[in-house]
């Protein structure tokens, strides 16, 4: 994988961690920041921000999971081609197909 993709991967992982830390901080500080006389708009805004941070963290996690699966498939395909798509293997497969075709063909009288 390229340097750009590694940097992007680190970026979205860092963003996910920052969002989770922000959520943790909001929960810890909710006892001191939120009080009974607070307006409903600020209270709703506070928890909407919390939910938004959680959603961004989940999105980053899903993005990382999908990228990891894609990377696994690409490497798996490359390994398959490296292992089985050699000239020697192709020749063996062609010989096996010819042999199977000859065995299926009925002998002419």
CA–CA distances in Å: residue 90 to residues 48, 57, 83, 96, 99:
60, 47, 11, 10, 14
Q: What is the pLDDT of residue 106?
A: 66
Reference 67, options 20, 5, 2; nearest CA is 5
CA 65 to centroid of chain Cα atoms: 3
Across the chain, which has 109 residues, the per-10-residue mean pLDDT values are 84 96 94 86 93 97 94 92 83 89 72
Question: What pTM value is reported for the model?
Answer: 0.70
CA dist 50 and 20 (Å) reads 9
Q: Are residues 12 and 63 in contact, defined by beta-carbon separation less than 8 angstroms?
A: yes
Q: What is the pLDDT of residue 87?
A: 84
Q: What is the pLDDT of residue 107?
A: 63
Per-domain boundaries in the chain: 3-31+38-76
Name the E strands within the chain.
Answer: none
Reference 16, options 66, 49, 61; nearest CA is 61
């Amino acid at each position: 994988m390229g340097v750009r993709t590694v940097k992007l991967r680190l970026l979205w992982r860092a963003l996910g961690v920052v969002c989770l830390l922000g959520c943790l901080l909001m929960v810890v500080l909710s006892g001191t920041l939120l009080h009974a006389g607070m307006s409903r708009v600020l209270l709703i805004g506070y928890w909407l921000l919390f939910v938004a941070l959680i959603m961004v963290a989940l999105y980053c996690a899903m993005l990382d999971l999908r990228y990891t699966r894609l990377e696994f498939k690409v490497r798996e395909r490359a390994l398959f081609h490296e292992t089985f798509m050699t000239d020697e293997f192709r020749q063996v497969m062609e010989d096996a197909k010819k042999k199977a075709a000859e065995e299926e063909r009925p002998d002419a009288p």
